[in-house]
Amino acid sequence: MRLLPSTRLRLQARLAPATGRGPGGDRIAAVLRVVGDRAPVAADRTAPDTPPSPAASIAAPDGPAGPASPTITRAPTTLQRAAGALRAGLRRATDGLPADARALLPGLVIGDTTRIPAELDDAFHATDLTHLLAVSGANFTILLAVLIGPPHLATRPERRGLAPRVGISLRGTALVGGALTLGFVVVCRPEPSVLRAATCGLITLAAIGTGRRRSLLPALAGAVLLLVLYDPWLARDFGFLLSVLATGALLTIAPRWSAALRRRGVPPRLAEVLAAAAAAQAACAPVVAVLAARVGLVAVPCNLLAELAVAPATVLGFAALAVAPLSLPLAKAAAWPAALPAEWIAGVARTGAALPGAEVSWPGGWAGGLLLAALTALVLGAGPRFLRGRTARRSPTGAGPDGGERSSVATGTRPDGAGLGAGPGARPGGAGQVVTGTGSGEPTGLSGAGLGAGPERPRSRRSGRWLAAGFVLVLVLAVFRPPPVTRVLTGWPPAGWRLVACDVGQGDALVLAAGRAGTAVVIDAGPEPRLVDRCLRRLGVERIPILILTHFHADHVDGLPGVLRGRAVGAIQTTTYAEPPAQVAFVRRTAASARIPLVAAAVGERRSLGPKLSWQVLWPPAQDPTQDLAQDPTQDPTQDPTQDPTTSPHFEDANDASVTLLVRTAGLTLFLPGDLEPPAQQQLLAAHPDLPAVDVLKVAHHGSSYQDPTLQERLRPRLALVTAGKRNPYGHPSPRTLAALAGQGASVLRTDVDGAVAVVSAPGADGAASSRSHRRLLVKTSLER
């Protein structure tokens, strides 16, 4: 049940240990059972088509009349019901839009992210565009700009916006803006970023209404002080901290950088948006490193590209929100044009996140954040000084016409447009030296050559341009990471690789080279689209004749959109056991939207691609090897025609139905069992008593302790690959399993420790190479018996 704000309810609850797994195969720590009276609930149905998360759901015992609900002791207020109606109206107005626009537009306007799929949310995080979905100052500024026009003109006779056009006075404009601000908070909900933006806006509106000088930095400081006094817990809220840091950077750093860019010939509007994006990123990156242990390299260009579409999408979205309660057709008419900019923003996020170097790993926690902050300050502080020092060393002083020493001048631009000269902000710069400033007493930081030394100035400028060009080239190579260049510089991917276990966190994603360059067979997709997509891009995989999903648990199938992104996929092969239903439906929808056929794997099936790659399906038993699993995605996934209880084997868990492969590639033998548990491992060994020893074993179920020792003894692998996430909550891999493998003489490589692992085949030797994504550490492990 989903409730509107201001609703009061009474409930009784009992905390009980969980007895199984959730729908996605994830473990649940505990279950909260709630008992209450049956009563009508005024629900804000934020996502009627999306079930609540199992970890956050309230399970209530069923009674004779249906499930019980907590007792509602007070209905939501009229104001909250009106706000709920506005939100619901916007969702209805966007129902017919394309998928990305339908998901994004409510998020851009009111912060409703319930429709955004996980892979798109991951893309927004990877490109640092999540601030667009957390309603903040940008949304509020756009909304107020419609009313009052540019804020710096709000108190001048040439002020713009709707207010002066309809004859509203300054004081009236401030009152209308205040009412609009309060409505904005109610509709978008009082999230930390919303409160910060609204408080700053109210202070600014008060200054406009009273005719006093408007100063944004004191307004920000006052807003932060008031909010922290009202709710001290905001001081520990990272969302609030990021909002304040970004706003502070826009008010302090961005204007200086914008002015510097304009002095270097950058168009004013481009200089403003570039400086704003760079300043916000510089201020927020250390906090992001604390939270996510990463640094984004594409945040600034992605924000620049997304900025082109934010204003039209937001304005049209607010128009649809406002008219939805009055006329749904008019609201839909306003929402349709907003679909194009919303789709553009989604495309920017996906494209940026798909780049191999979109983000790099960085030490997490406060130590990593402080380190990044120190490096940022060092670069920003020492960089200009270094360039000035180079220019000074290149600028010789010579005798002037009077035999004296030529003076050195640092040029600057004052706000009134004055150029060289000692203006009001000028100050002595030393013996025979004058430094002009911006009128505020601060030096501009631009250095010029000595007066009269004409030939030296172009040389210093050329040097600076070469340095800038070199920096841009290094950054482009770091982001795009072309496989030939990457292989030369880092050794990854190694030449002649036959199998790669991608580092996708707590999940599986394996890649088998299929002979032709850019062609591979992919086994499982991992838990996140961007991680598997990045792995495939680094390997240069463009064509996938067949994608095999061993079973339907989330850590094996949720990354499916990332595998399909920008690649030609011939078919998707799956297990015959259609559980859990939510993931089965997800795979069917994704395959249907991409027009890729779904087929079931069958025991005994043999396939080959080229002269060096072949495989045999060993498990699970299947009723029909040609059964097409492509169902209508709107059909109830629990009613699966491929799951006939009279012919299908009984499995305790979806893990036991994992598609298991025996692969032969370039003289190597590989055993890939998915997540098979011991009962299924024993049955497989009984069904295939002639199972050979193998070169490589992908350890089942991420190296958990549940392994059949008889199967391991039969396989006797030379190399064991463990796919597990760093610091995962399940304790994978198990020390007992690792010890057993080592006791059999197997070399063990783990994706949580070694990163992506490649099994390579060379003319004289076979080996394994592992690579951390952020430093490409190359390790060799002999596979010779």
CA gyration radius, the chain: 31
More confident residue, 382 or 753: 753
Query: Across-strand partners of 91?
Result: none
Peptide bond into 493 cis (omega under 30): yes
Query: Residue 499, SS3?
Result: strand
What percent of the chain clears pLDDT 70, i.e. is strictly above it?
73
pLDDT band at 159 (very low <50, low <70, confident <90, very high): low
Mean pLDDT, residues 569-577 taken together: 94
pLDDT of residue 449: 39
Q: Does pLDDT of 764 surpass 60?
A: no
Q: Is residue 614 domain-resident?
A: yes
> Quick check: 288 pLDDT over 80?
yes
Torsion of CA 292, 293, 297, 301, to 10 degrees: 20
Q: What is the mean pLDDT of residues 141-157?
A: 70
pLDDT at 64 over 50: no
Q: How many domains does the chain have?
A: 1
Q: Compute the average pLDDT of residues 325-334.
A: 93
Rounded mean pLDDT of 440-466? 50
Q: Average pLDDT in the 403-427 region?
A: 40
Beta strands in 42-100 (DSSP E): 62-63, 66-67, 71-74
Flag whether 182 is in a domain.
Answer: no
Q: What is the pLDDT of residue 583?
A: 93
pLDDT value at residue 156: 63
pLDDT of residue 639: 38
Higher pLDDT, 752 or 409: 752
- For residue 631, being part of any structural domain is answered with yes
- Identify the weakest region by mean pLDDT among 178-182, 243-247, 633-637: 633-637
Taking alpha carbons only, the member of 390, 515, 512, 490 closest to residue 448 is 390
> Does residue 571 form part of some domain?
yes
Host domain of residue 658: 493-635+652-771
Average pLDDT, the chain: 77
pLDDT band at 782 (very low <50, low <70, confident <90, very high): very low
Rounded to an integer, what distance in angstroms lies between the CA atom of residue 743 and that of residue 736? 10
Which CATH number goes with the domain that contains 618? 3.60.15.10
Of 41-45, 381-385, 731-735, 752-756, the least confident:
41-45
C-alpha to C-alpha distance for 187 and 182, rounded to whole angstroms: 9
Percentage with pLDDT > 90 across the chain: 33
Q: Are 357 and 480 in contact (CB under 8 A)?
A: yes
State the pLDDT at residue 62.
Answer: 43
According to the model, what pLDDT value does residue 390 have? 52
How much is the pLDDT for 488?
Answer: 77
**CB under 8 Å, gap of 24 or more: what pairs does 175-181 form?**
175/209, 176/147, 177/144, 177/147, 177/148, 177/201, 177/205, 177/208, 178/202, 178/205, 180/143, 180/144, 180/147, 181/140, 181/144, 181/205
Model confidence at 233, in pLDDT bands (50, 70, 90)? confident
User: Token pair 């692969």 is at which residue?
Assistant: 663
Establish if 373 belongs to a structural domain: no
Least confident of 149-163, 266-280, 420-434, 479-493: 420-434
Query: How would residue 22 be classed by pLDDT, with cut points 50, 70 and 90?
Result: low
Residue 468: per-residue pLDDT: 72
* pLDDT of 407 above 60: no
**pLDDT level of residue 662 (50, 70, 90 thresholds):** very high
For residue 632, pLDDT over 80 is answered with: no
Does residue 460 surpass a pLDDT of 90? no
Position with higher pLDDT, 652 vs 318: 318
What's the rounded mean pLDDT across residues 579-599?
Answer: 93
For residue 752, being part of any structural domain is answered with yes
Distance CA 235, CA 243 (A): 12
Is position 594 within any domain? Answer: yes
Distance of CA 33 to the CA centre of its chain: 34
pLDDT band at 466 (very low <50, low <70, confident <90, very high): confident
Whether the upstream peptide bond of residue 729 has omega within 30° of 0, thus cis, is no
Q: How confident is the model at residue 102 (pLDDT cuts 50, 70, 90)?
A: very high
Does residue 12 form part of some domain? no
Check if the beta carbon of residue 492 is closer than 8 Å to that of residue 778: yes
pLDDT at 710: 92
Q: How much is the pLDDT for 502? A: 95
More confident residue, 371 or 138: 371
pLDDT score for 457: 54
Phi, psi of 313 (to 5 degrees): -65, -40
pLDDT, position 139: 75
Q: What is the mean pLDDT of residues 707-721?
A: 93
What average pLDDT does range 381-393 have in this prediction?
58
Higher pLDDT, 116 or 156: 116
Of residues 400 and 531, more confidently modeled: 531
Asked if residue 719 lies in contact with residue 783, where contact means CB atoms within 8 angstroms, the answer is: yes
pLDDT category of residue 360 using cuts at 50, 70 and 90: confident
189 against 751, higher pLDDT = 751
Q: For residue 623, is pLDDT > 90?
A: no
* Token couple for 58: 């309230």
What is the arithmetic mean of pLDDT over 143-164?
Answer: 69
Position 385 confidence tier, pLDDT thresholds 50, 70, 90: low
Strands 30-35 and 568-569: unpaired
pLDDT of 237 strictly over 80: yes
- Taking alpha carbons only, the member of 25, 2, 28, 4 closest to residue 17 is 28
Q: Where is mean pLDDT largest: 48-52, 431-435, 487-491, 575-579?
A: 575-579
